[in-house]
């Protein structure tokens, strides 16, 4: 049984969930509700190597750190590129997208206004999306996305756009035709499509939903 433990919301866990879905894996969602549950994982069962969530239990392993989890799932599903050149391209694109995603992770916790959060996201998008778009413009016609076949950077791009769509106008993305086309292809993948329409998928963390998510995080961490 594959088991994914995290808070009751998106945060750093959501890219991991997308990778589980893209890999067509079935998993148990262990969405913590109490500090006791967290302490059990950390102190009693000793599953949290660095005392932090998320935690993915798979293949007899107890994996922590969201980037490490994403990369493990990518290697497991052969989504890392098929030559050294492809692999490093995938990693470079994935790191860039992960850096941009900070505006999604911080959304429910940031004290700024919605307008400020939108501006912060658009600054990131306008800085990096033209460069990512250029990569797709220069690819071979037979390539799926950033490289020849589906890779984890493709999945992270789609997750980022989907995450931003909760507060950033989609027009900010549609002008990047190749990136938006890749996003549309990824969200139509069977595993991703199933996940997005399932009860495991949390709604965008704004308003009352965002407040409940913050309260959940604070409760679980005993703050």
Question: How many domains does the chain divide into?
Answer: 2
Domain of residue 88, CATH code = 1.20.1050.10
Please give the model's pTM, rounded to 2 decimal places. Answer: 0.96
Q: With bands split at pLDDT 50, 70 and 90, how would you rate the model's confidence at 140?
A: confident
Residues 122 and 187 in one domain: yes
Domain of residue 64, CATH code = 3.40.30.10
Q: With bands split at pLDDT 50, 70 and 90, how would you rate the model's confidence at 141?
A: confident
Could you tell me the end-to-end alpha-carbon distance of the chain, in angstroms, rounded to an integer?
A: 31
Residues 113 and 148 in one domain: yes
Residues 98 and 180 in one domain: yes
Residues 174 and 104 in one domain: yes
Over range 186-208, report the average pLDDT: 96
Residues 204 and 160 in one domain: no
Over range 7-15, report the average pLDDT: 97
Residues 106 and 159 in one domain: yes
Peptide bond into 54 cis (omega under 30): yes
pLDDT exceeds cutoff 90 at 142: no
Alpha carbons 84 and 80: distance in angstroms, whole number: 10
Strand partners, 55: 5, 64
Residues 53 and 102 in one domain: no
Residues 112 and 159 in one domain: yes
Residues 89 and 184 in one domain: yes
Residue percentage of the chain with pLDDT more than 90: 95
Amino acid 156: pLDDT: 99
Residues 178 and 209 in one domain: no
Alpha carbons 191 and 115: distance in angstroms, whole number: 34
Residue percentage of the chain with pLDDT more than 70: 100
Question: Parallel, antiparallel, or unpaired: how do β-strands 55-58 and 3-6 relate?
Answer: antiparallel
Over range 13-35, report the average pLDDT: 98
pLDDT digits (tens, 9 = 90+) for 90-115: 999 999 999 999 999 999 999 888 89
User: Chain-wide mean pLDDT for the chain?
Assistant: 96
Domain that holds residue 100: 84-193
Residues 138 and 69 in one domain: no
Alpha carbons 33 and 173: distance in angstroms, whole number: 35
Residues 125 and 184 in one domain: yes
Amino acid 3: pLDDT: 98
Asked whether 57 and 21 are in contact (CB, 8 A), the reply is: no
């Amino acid at each position: 049984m594959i088991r994914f433990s995290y808070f009751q919301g998106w945060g750093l866990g959501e890219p991991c969930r997308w990778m589980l879905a893209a890999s067509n894996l079935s998993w148990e969602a262990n969405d913590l509700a109490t500090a006791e549950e967290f302490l059990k994982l950390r102190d009693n069962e000793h599953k949290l190597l660095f005392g932090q969530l998320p935690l993915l239990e798979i293949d007899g392993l107890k994996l922590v750190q969201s980037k490490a989890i994403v990369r493990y799932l990518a290697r497991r599903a052969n989504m890392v590129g098929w030559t050294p050149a492809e692999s490093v391209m995938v990693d470079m694109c994935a790191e860039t997208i992960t850096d941009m995603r900070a505006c999604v992770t911080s959304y429910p916790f940031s004290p700024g206004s919605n307008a400020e959060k939108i501006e912060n996201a658009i600054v990131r998008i306008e800085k990096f999306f033209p460069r990512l778009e250029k990569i797709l413009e220069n690819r071979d016609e037979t390539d799926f996305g950033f490289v020849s076949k589906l890779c984890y950077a493709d999945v992270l791009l789609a997750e980022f756009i989907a995450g931003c769509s909760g507060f950033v106008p989609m027009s900010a993305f549609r002008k990047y035709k190749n990136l938006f086309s890749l996003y549309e292809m990824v969200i139509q993948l069977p595993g991703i499509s199933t996940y997005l329409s399932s009860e495991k998928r949390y709604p965008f963390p704004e308003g009352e939903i965002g407040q409940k998510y913050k309260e959940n995080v604070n409760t679980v961490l005993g703050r």
